[in-house]
Amino acid sequence: MQEKRNEIDSLRADGVKVDPQRFLTLLFDKLLLSHCDDFRSEVKLERNAWVKDPVACDTNKVIASFVNLYTNYKSTKEWDKQALDKDATIIALATGVKELRAEVKNLRSAKKTVPPPTSAPAKEKVKFAEPGSGKGPPAWRLTKSGATAKCPSTGDTFDWCPHHGQANKPKTGMYMPAGHDHEEWLAAREAQNQKWSKSKAKKNKTTPKRITTKAQSKRIKLAAHSFVQTLSSQLWSQRSRCLMAKSMS
């Protein structure tokens, strides 16, 4: 490097030599472009020393030390190894990004082409009343056409029971779900009603009654206000006595 510098100086027609500080600046900048991390660390240390004390920096010694470092790293293959490792890492990352982009693209394409799954139609429930009619069961359940009948909407089988009908009207008969036994149905309904009545009575017994009258509420407020005033007066009197005893002592 120094020889090249001398050669450049000799070729200049004006006889002006390259400024030593400018030369070192360019030298450090180029050396820091190395792919070897350890070598760059040494360059940074040397450059910091030069910045702190430019006069003490010997250009020939700096060049010689870097040449020795390069020779050692090259002989131990660390110089080429670190460069290859970085290149391999960059290539691996680029390949991974490329594969990921391709996978995302394929997923998007598949999402566009595959139709959305269709859910199986839910089985329609038996209609025990006409929706929005407010008239109770549908007409087919109240009109006897035989011992059994089919639900028009679901196809379920219903048996005719003469003991049922519309609410609050004479029981003229109605189709009930297949296997209906009126006596069992009546007993089950009675048991359910008794259970509900007992539960309601127990709840009313355990639930404390709330004050509902305005007079009771007003009395409670007045009693609370009186208690607060009495307590405040007692506290004030006690405080006054304490202050008086303290001043006398």
Domain boundaries, given as residue ranges, for the chain: 2-76, 81-112, 136-179
For 12-77, where are the alpha helices, taking DSSP H only?
A: 20-31, 37-52, 59-75
pLDDT at 84 over 80: no
What is the per-residue pLDDT for 48? Answer: 92
Question: What are 95's two structure tokens?
Answer: 């390949």
pLDDT in tens, 191-208: 888 888 888 887 777 665
Q: Residue 75 pLDDT > 80, yes or no?
A: yes
Residue with tokens 């009693």: 223
Sign of CA dihedral 197, 198, 199, 203: positive
The pLDDT of 234-246, averaged and rounded, is: 74
Give the mean pLDDT of 68-79. Answer: 84
**Identity of residue 104:** V
How far, in Å, are 8, 23, 24, 183 from residue 14 at the CA level? Answer: 12, 18, 22, 128
Query: pTM (2 decimals)?
Result: 0.31
Write down the pLDDT at residue 134: 55
Distance CA 106, CA 173 (A): 64
Average pLDDT over residues 117-136: 51
pLDDT average, residue stretch 78-82: 72
Q: Which residues contact 144 (CB under 8 A, 6 or more apart)?
A: 160, 173, 175
Structural contact between residues 63 and 79, judged by C-beta atoms closer than 8 angstroms: no
Judge whether residue 13 has pLDDT over 80.
no
Cβ-proximal residues to 150 (8 Å cutoff; 6+ apart), any chain: 156, 157, 158
Look at the alpha carbons of 64, 69, 74, 75 in this order and tell me if their dihedral is positive or negative: positive
DSSP, collapsed to helix, strand or coil, labels residue 103 as helix
